[in-house]
Amino acid sequence: MMAVSAILSFSSCQDKGTTDPERDGPSVEWASNPEFKTLDFVGVDDELDVNLKINAPAGIKSFVVGIDSKPLNNGEGLLGGFKLTELDLVNPAEETAFIVTMILGEDKTVAGATEISLDLSTLVPLIADLTDEDSNHSFTLNITDNNGKSVEKTCTFHRVGVEAPEYAAPTMTWEGNAEFAPVEIEQGMTVKFTVNAPAGIESLVVDIDSDALNSMGITSLDFVDTENNGALSSIVSGILGDQDITTATELSLDLSSLVPMILGLPTLTPDSDHVFTVKLTDKAGQTLEQACTFHHTGETAE
């Protein structure tokens, strides 16, 4: 009888105080959030506690973190275009190596580990730099041990949306011509425009409707995506000078060299209009379109 009691006592202690690789599958613990409730975050400086402890008495065979996050899935900003939909912690992709190091630490071997810590505390707030939208971002841990037992746990984070500031719409002025009336082309004339975009300039293109200039291949000038200009890059540089369009909220466009040049083109015809249409989109999505017309009354260029 005493022997039976001892066996039962030993069995009870074994059940309560020890792990058995043959019996116990992998588990995930989140000490600061044991119920895995959704956590809010606002900015990159938020101090989140997302320290997860994984136990796998039989050793980890596979460990994949599925990611449901629009900016990460679309490869926005943080990853230089790499579309992050999952992290394989046993066989990490080269493109995600720095993220794996961020959440695991240096020189961590996951395959075969029986206990490992995963820290998402730094990664999650970085999402705030990628989107202002009110949105959820989920990380689903899928772990399988060497006995084929699995566990799945999802950690969900709510990016609290930030209202975009209101900016005045972009405007444009023409020095000496407040009404944007058609102007006769003259040698030595001054042609200066000023555009104001309090939200910053997202795109700025000047489309040119001029038979004389178009015949020279001058049909459009792009002041943001300058690679689109090809051989016309020097013209754009001359119009902008040393202004930095990437940070400017006010920009001067000096066409004092380009417009009078029309008078010397062999394809110029009398009584012709030459229209420069400024098209601007600011960083708040607001647009401006303004046509500026120059007229040539005189004779064809010799």
pLDDT recorded at residue 242: 92
The yes or no reply on domain 24-159 and CATH 2.60.40.10 is yes
Q: What residue spans in the chain does CATH classification 2.60.40.10 cover?
A: 24-159
pLDDT in tens, 21-78: 777 899 999 999 999 999 999 888 888 999 999 999 999 999 999 999 999 998 876 6
Say whether 8 sits in a helix, a strand or coil.
Answer: helix
The number of CA neighbours under 13 Å toward the Cβ of 37 is: 9
Residue 82 has pLDDT above 90, yes or no: no
Share of the chain above pLDDT 90, in %: 73
> Which residues are CB-neighbours of 37 under 8 A, at least 6 positions away?
none
Helices (H) and strands (E) in the chain, counts: 7, 16
pLDDT recorded at residue 17: 55
pLDDT recorded at residue 108: 82
pLDDT recorded at residue 5: 47
Quickly name the fold that domain 171-296 has.
Immunoglobulin-like (2.60.40)
The number of CA neighbours under 13 Å toward the Cβ of 201 is: 26
Residue 79 has pLDDT above 80, yes or no: no
Per-residue confidence band for 295, with pLDDT thresholds at 50, 70 and 90: very high
pLDDT recorded at residue 299: 64
H/E/C letters for each residue in the chain?
CHHHHHHHHHHHHHHHHCCCCCCCCCEEEECCCCCCCCEEECCCCCCCCCEEEEECCCCEEEEEEEEECHHHHCCCCCCCCCCCCEEECCCCCHHHHHHHHHHHCCCCCCCCCCEEEEECCCHHHHHHHCCCCCEEEEEEEEEEECCCCEEEEEEEEEECCCCCCCCCCCEEEECCCCCCCCEECCCCCCCEEEEECCCCEEEEEEEEECHHHHCCCCCEEECCCHHHHHHHHHHHHHHHCCCCCCCCCEEEEECCCHHHHHHHCCCCCCCEEEEEEEEEEECCCCEEEEEEEEEECCCCCC
pLDDT recorded at residue 53: 97
pLDDT in tens, 124-182: 998 988 888 899 999 999 999 999 999 999 999 999 987 777 899 999 999 999 999 99
Average pLDDT, the chain: 89
pLDDT in tens, 223-237: 998 888 888 999 999
pLDDT recorded at residue 18: 66
Per-residue confidence band for 243, with pLDDT thresholds at 50, 70 and 90: very high
Residue 253 contacts residue 238 (beta carbons within 8 Å): no
